[in-house]
Structure formats: structure tokens, C-alpha cells
Amino acid sequence: MSAEVEPTTRTSLRVGRGQVQVEAAPRRLERLRTCLADAACRRLLLLAAAAQLADAVITNVAISRGFVEENGLMRLLVFNPLLGGSVKVGVVLAVCALAAQRLPLRQVRVAFAVAAVLSLTGPVIDALQLLVHR
């Protein structure tokens, strides 16, 4: 198991009798690069994006077979599959990028894993409904 080290700068200040240490947070782009360099983060991020694309495709197949999109926000986008898929993937990537910039690497892995699992639920449920209601 390797220790995770994040680049920081440390400044010591004397305040009264005590000493206060102030650590500057690593730059956000450096954190994002660190996360993207991590193989587990990359795999989880790609899995979440692929699951969102799969959800968009399966949703369009379901609609072509007579199903109705129940999500009011996505109902506006399902008539254009490219737009719907792009929005779904874009939102997930934006939220993951925000997490990568603000959280330590270990917590980013957890956040990406949660995003991947939640992203997988949509296409799995949709595919099961398509199989059951042929």
C-alpha cells in the first residue's frame, strides 16, 4: 500500500506565544491531473461515462418500442439521442471533475465508484424492463 502525497506549501507564523502552521491547498488542476493519472480513477470515470451512454441508447430503444420517458428533465432531450447522451455524460463528467479538484485521491475514488454504480443502475433497470415487457 503506498502513501498518498499531495503537493502543498507550508508556512509557519508566530502568533503570540504559540505557532500556527498554515498549509496552502494544492492547485485544483494539479489535483485533477493526479486523479486522472490514477488508473482506478480513470477506469471508474470511463465506466460511469459508458453507463450513461448505454442508458441513453437503451432509453431510445425503449421509446421506439412504445415506452415513455418518466424523467421530466430528460423527456425534453430524448427526442435527440445525441443531445441526450451528451448531456448525461457531460453532467457526470462535470460532477466528477469537481470532486477530483476538491477531494483527496482516496475520497475521489469512492466518489467515482458511487458515480459508476449509480450510472449503471439506469441501463440495467431499463434493459430488464425491455426484456420483461417484450
User: What band does 1 get if pLDDT is binned at 50, 70 and 90?
Assistant: very low
Lowest mean pLDDT among 36-40, 62-66, 95-99, 124-128: 62-66
**Residues paired with residue 11 on neighbouring β-strands, in sequence order:** 22
Whole-prediction pTM: 0.74
Residue-level pLDDT at 134? 73
Residues 6+ apart with CB under 8 A from 93: 45, 49
Nearest by Cα to 62 from 90, 81, 87: 81
Supply the mean pLDDT for the chain: 83
CA-wise closest residue to 4 among 20, 26, 21: 26
For residue 41, give every residue at least 6 positions away whose Cβ sits within 8 Å of its Cβ, in sequence order, or none.
35, 100, 105, 108, 109, 112
Do the beta carbons of residue 60 and residue 129 sit within 8 Å? no
Instruction: Give me the mean pLDDT over the 101-120 stretch.
Output: 95
Whether pLDDT at 108 is above 70: yes
Q: What is the mean pLDDT of residues 56-61?
A: 88
Burial of 15 (0-12, 13-18, 19+ CB in 10 A): exposed
Q: How open is the CA angle 9-12-16, to the nearest 5 degrees? A: 155
* The pLDDT of residue 14 is above 70: no
Residue 42, Cα to own-chain centre: how many angstroms? 10
Among 126, 52, 41, 50, which residue's Cα sits nearest to residue 91? 52
Across 37-41, average pLDDT: 95
